[in-house]
């Protein structure tokens, strides 16, 4: 991307303030973050400069990445792979009566998530990784070549790495006292294969919004499709929507 195109991209996402902040970061290494005020959102959002935060912000807040028309208004939402909380914040404005559980495994992303959702009592942040068992799991570092922009690329896996709590969907629902989940949003960089290949809880889910990562781990789509029997399916961009059929 040329410098001119890069500046135009930053301006389109963050306005003049974003262009100035990005330029200052490239020149001086500061600021590390800025606040932005998306249209229709009550409180400012903290995003990190020169990271994937800007692209995720643009996708969710400006481009309507999760703006699906559902056949019902969800009252219980679980946001898995919540990153810095943007999807949860979008959902709490669109569905103001919903209780939202926002789960993020990576520590620095979770710290930003906790800050961003603090003004919203309906959003409960949880530092954990969704997995096919309860216990502990490793969070792998993203590709070093991605630099700061790789904040989205953390992968949960067995073996060596920074440890975080692993929680299964049944345990999460039990702890949060949620007998069912109306809307389950998942973006977990390939771990959906493990989560869904031995899934026995989809009967308690109304709809699923998920990004499938067969490019990272073959078998993700097959695992989710197998678990989502009895759901209609719609693909838009990188998100696949499954809705339970009447």
Q: What is the pLDDT of residues 100-138, one digit of tens each?
A: 999 999 999 999 999 999 999 999 999 999 999 999 999
- Domains in the chain (CATH in brackets) are 1-61 (no CATH), 65-244 (3.40.50.150)
Look at residue 152 and tell me whether its pLDDT is greater than 60. Answer: no
As a dihedral over the C-alpha atoms of residue 206, residue 45, residue 84, residue 199, rounded to 10 degrees, the angle is: 0
Helix (H, G, I), strand (E, B) or coil at 144: helix
Model confidence over 75-92: pLDDT tens digits? 999 999 999 999 999 999
Helices (H) and strands (E) in the chain, counts: 7, 13
pLDDT mean over 3-14: 68
Quick: pLDDT tens for 164-216.
Answer: 999 999 999 999 999 999 999 999 999 999 999 989 999 999 999 999 999 88
Please give the biggest Cα pair distance in the chain.
Answer: 57
Closest to 83 in 3D by CA, of 164, 153, 12, 10: 153
pLDDT of residue 157: 84
pLDDT at 7: 61
HSE, CB side, 13 Å, CA atoms: give it for residue 236.
Answer: 12
The per-residue pLDDT for 51 is 86
Length of the chain: 246
Catalogue the E-assigned strands of the chain. 33-36, 45-48, 76-80, 99-104, 123-127, 129-130, 135-140, 155-157, 162-167, 181-186, 205-210, 231-236, 239-244
Q: What are phi and psi of 132, to 5 degrees?
A: -90, 5
Contact 55, 48 (CB under 8 A): no
Residue 147's pLDDT band (cuts 50, 70, 90) = very low
Q: Mean pLDDT score of the chain, rounded to an integer?
A: 89
CB-CB contact of 150 with 142 (8 Å): yes
12 closest CA partner among 67, 58, 64? 58
Note the pLDDT of residue 161: 81
Written as six digits, the tokens of 235 are 């693909």
How much is the pLDDT for 1?
58
Decide if 36 contacts 20 (C-beta within 8 A). no
Q: What whole-number distance in Å separates Cα of residue 182 and Cα of residue 205? A: 6
Q: How far apart are CA 232 and CA 238, in angstroms?
A: 17
3-state secondary structure of 200: coil
- Position 170 scores a pLDDT of 97
| Residue 149 pLDDT level (bands cut at 50, 70, 90) | very low
Beta pairing class for 99-104 and 123-127: parallel
């Amino acid at each position: 991307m040329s410098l001119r195109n890069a500046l135009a991209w930053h301006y389109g996402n963050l306005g003049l303030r974003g262009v100035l902040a990005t330029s200052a970061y490239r020149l001086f290494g500061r600021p590390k973050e800025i606040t932005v005020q998306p249209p229709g959102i009550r409180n400012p959002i903290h995003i990190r400069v020169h990271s994937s935060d800007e692209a995720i912000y643009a996708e969710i807040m400006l481009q309507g990445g999760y703006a699906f028309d559902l056949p019902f208004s969800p009252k219980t939402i679980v946001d898995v792979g919540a990153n810095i909380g943007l999807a949860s914040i979008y959902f709490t404005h669109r569905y103001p009566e919903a209780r939202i559980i926002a789960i993020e495994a990576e520590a620095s992303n979770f710290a930003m998530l906790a800050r961003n959702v603090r003004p919203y009592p309906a959003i409960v942040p949880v530092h954990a990784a969704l997995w096919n068992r309860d216990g502990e799991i490793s969070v792998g570092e993203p590709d070093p070549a991605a630099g700061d922009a790789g904040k989205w690329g953390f992968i949960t896996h067995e073996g060596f790495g920074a440890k975080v709590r692993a929680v299964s969907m049944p345990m999460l629902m039990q702890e949060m006292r949620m007998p069912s989940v109306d809307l389950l949003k998942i973006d977990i960089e390939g771990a959906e294969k493990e989560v869904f290949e031995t899934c026995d809880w989809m009967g308690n889910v109304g709809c699923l919004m998920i990004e499938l990562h067969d490019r990272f781990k073959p078998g993700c789509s097959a695992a989710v499709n197998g678990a989502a029997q009895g759901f209609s399916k719609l693909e838009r961009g990188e998100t696949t929507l499954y809705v339970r059929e009447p």
